[in-house]
Amino acid sequence: MDVPPDLTLTPTSFGKGCFGSVVLAFLANTPVATKIIPRSPSEDAHVECERRALAATACIDRVVVHLSAYSVTPTHHFLSFEIVGDGGTLMDLILGTHSYVRSRCSSVLCAGNCYRLRPEEARGLFLQLCTAVERCHALGVVHRDIKPENVLIRVLEPNPLPGAMLHDCLQLVLTDFGFAQVVKPRQLLLTHPGTITYAAPELIKGVPYEGEPADVWALGVTLWVMMTRHFPFGRTNDQRILLAAPDYSIVPRSFDVVMLRSIFQCDASKRPTVTQIRSYLAP
């Protein structure tokens, strides 16, 4: 594999995705997370779309991952990103396996080895994610793969005061723009990427769709997982997604499900915008 001369790769892996692997690397002695994608005509076009989305969101501070450098060789693309936290994700936080939570069990409801984010903390963290997506949409960028595994954790308060809420101590950072696309207002998209458990009905049907409402649906699924640690429509049940009828009884009673009901609508035009969601949930 040809490697750019200013980039030093290490054996440390951050994971592998649909298009390539992500490893710890050093760019002029600065640690970075480098996505390595083998070249092909289709991958070249994909990387170009990702770079356009990342260039459009470069002005968004702190809540969206930033591309530090891009290099291409005859065999591979190398996209190097800032390193956020210790590599832990929102899913780690939900499951209670993130190092920050494990050292501070008082910040979650705990029953044996079963952790639960408090509803008020889930709401606060979700609002941070909404802010990131809202700013992307304002710049004409749709993410198309929103899920807890694609949200990194930046620690703001390593030694919080007793009783401090997670959303006051942590910052969520939206990452993995591999399926992202820069779109025009009301533009219909024809490809159907992403993860099925977070996919809106229009993606399951395989019809042309607008990216913003599809992102909103994925945000709703993410919030549901944050609150319950379960998927609202199961893992692979297309029919349940098409019916848009989750079991709202498992959502904590202290959480108002009105917004979730407005998100989980088969008619994409009736879903709220991210701005409306944030306004409704904000304290």
CATH number, domain at 104? Answer: 1.10.510.10
pLDDT of residue 236: 67
Q: Which amino acid is at 103?
A: S
**Domain span at 114:** 90-281
Looking at the structure, tell me whether residues 55 and 174 fall in a common domain.
Answer: no
The position carrying tokens 């609202």 is 232
**Listed residues 26, 46, 81: the one ending a domain:** 81
Looking at the structure, tell me whether residues 69 and 189 fall in a common domain.
Answer: no
Q: Which residues pair with 114 in a beta bridge?
A: 111
Looking at the structure, tell me whether residues 51 and 181 fall in a common domain.
Answer: no
pLDDT of residue 113: 52
Joined together, the tokens standing for residue 278 give: 């944030």
Looking at the structure, tell me whether residues 225 and 248 fall in a common domain.
Answer: yes
- Segment holding 211, helix H or strand E: helix 211-228
- In the chain, the number of structural domains is 2
Looking at the structure, tell me whether residues 161 and 244 fall in a common domain.
Answer: yes
Looking at the structure, tell me whether residues 134 and 41 fall in a common domain.
Answer: no
pLDDT of residue 51: 96
Residue 162 lies in a domain: yes
What string of pLDDT tens digits covers the 283 residues of the chain? 889 999 999 999 988 777 789 999 999 889 999 999 999 999 999 999 999 999 999 999 999 999 999 999 999 999 999 999 887 899 999 998 887 876 665 444 454 355 678 899 999 999 999 999 999 999 999 999 999 999 999 999 888 887 888 999 999 999 999 999 999 999 999 999 989 999 999 999 999 999 999 999 999 999 999 999 999 998 766 778 888 889 899 898 888 899 999 999 999 999 999 999 999 998 7
**Listed residues 81, 113, 144: the one ending a domain:** 81
Q: What does pTM read for this prediction?
A: 0.92
pLDDT of residue 268: 97
Catalytic annotation, residues: 145
Q: Which letter, b or e, does each residue of 152-191 get, where b requires 16 or more Cβ atoms within 10 Å of its Cβ?
A: bbebeeeebeeeeebbebbbbbbbbbbbbbbbeeeeebee
Half-sphere exposure of 7 (CA within 13 A, CB side): 25
Residue 1 lies in a domain: no
CA distance linking residue 35 with residue 86, whole number of Å: 17
Residue 37 lies in a domain: yes
pLDDT of residue 111: 41
pLDDT of residue 14: 87
Which of 12-19's residues contact partners 24+ apart within 8 Å by CB, and which partners?
14/87, 17/176, 17/178, 18/178, 19/43, 19/46, 19/178
pLDDT of residue 107: 45
Residue 2 lies in a domain: no
pLDDT of residue 104: 64
Residue 45 lies in a domain: yes
What is the gyration radius of the CA atoms in the chain, in angstroms?
A: 19
Joined together, the tokens standing for residue 222 give: 């993410």
